[in-house]
Amino acid sequence: MTRPSAQYGSFALLAGVILIWGTGYWPTEVSGEHTETVLLSGLRVIGGALLLVSAALLARSRWPRGRMLGWAAISGLIMVALSHWGTTEAVARAGPGNAAVLVNAAPLIVAAVGWFVLRERLSWIGITGVIVGFGGVVLMVSSQLGGDADTRQLLIGVGLGAAAALGWAIGTLLVRAFATRRGEEMDMLSFTATQFIVAGVVLLVAGFGIDGVATTEWGSTELWAALFWIGPISGLGFAFYFVALGRMTAARASAALFLVPGVAVIVEIVRGNVPTALVLLGMLLAVAGVALVNVPRGALASVAPRVWRRLRSATTS
């Protein structure tokens, strides 16, 4: 049985993850004003890689070799490189709030693909979550078309945000499939650090080759302050998440992450970027859909009778 102190510690770690990742979309927008997106993506991934490698060395993790190293490299390109580049582009073109909701819709894609392709059983709650979540995304995007924002840039940003979510989802499914076969040999911390190293190197090479360095404001304090938050600090969020994952079930740990886009939207509201009622409704539906997909199997079935009994007692008293 997990001690209460360990439980509180795990919840504190997850709260740190939500805060770090939820507040990372604004710095991404700020840093994007001082450099190009591919190079920015490489810089932030390498920053995260440095912290994850340090954490893996301190924890004396077993580094992947052979086939596992190959899987780490392949999944790193899809799960880390594509998702970080797509997220950065989505923030620049569609705005931090939209990007946060789109990118964090990855669990909806994982659930849908797992249901249709991998024949993974999905409860009626999960099916409802997929429908509600995707409906929310459609409402959020469609209600902004033809408004003040550049429709072409918005649609490109939405597409790249969806690509980021798809990359994370496919990478998650690949890692899940590999971990099912080689779970005992797999050290998630070093595996993730390897993913970040491969993705960071590829993005940096592409960034310097495609974008060059001429347009980057290397002396900008804003650029480096923002990069510090979305690089090493964001990597710290990954370390927090894996520590929490080792102390509680995967369902409970992943369920907390649906709060990340909520934090991002709140940050945008505080900054004065208040969404319209329809956009906000779409965001809420998308987040609610992700929450339903992440609900542990049977959780609502056990909660609903208690809620019903309390409602009856309240109305009859």
Sequence ranges of the domains in the chain: 4-316
Per the structure block, which two tokens stand in for 223? Answer: 């650029």
* pLDDT digit string, tens, across residues 131-171: 887 788 778 777 776 555 677 888 888 889 889 888 887 88
- Per-residue confidence at 200, pLDDT binned at 50, 70, 90? very high
pLDDT at 81: 94
> Which amino acid type is present at position 91?
V
* pLDDT digit string, tens, across residues 81-97: 999 999 999 999 988 88
Q: Say if CB 97 and CB 273 are below 8 A apart.
A: yes
* pLDDT digit string, tens, across residues 30-58: 998 999 999 999 999 999 999 889 989 99
- Per-residue confidence at 311, pLDDT binned at 50, 70, 90? very low
6-to-17, 55, 170, 286 alpha-carbon distances in Å: 17, 20, 32, 31
Q: Measured between alpha carbons, how far is 210 from 130 in angstroms, rounded to an integer? A: 37
Percent of the chain whose predicted confidence (pLDDT) is above 90: 23
Q: How many CB atoms lie within 10 A of CB 57?
A: 13
Q: For the ranges 121-135, 170-184, 289-303, which has the lowest average pLDDT?
A: 289-303
3-state SS assignment for residue 296:
coil
- Compute φ and ψ for 64, nearest 5 degrees: -65, 145
> Which amino acid type is present at position 309?
R
Contacts of 202 (CB under 8 A, 6+ apart): 42, 77, 81
Q: What is the pTM of this model?
A: 0.79
pLDDT at 158: 87
pLDDT at 82: 93
Q: Is the confidence at residue 67, as pLDDT, over 90?
A: no
Q: Say if CB 141 and CB 95 are below 8 A apart.
A: no
Identify the residue with better confidence: 119 or 26.
26
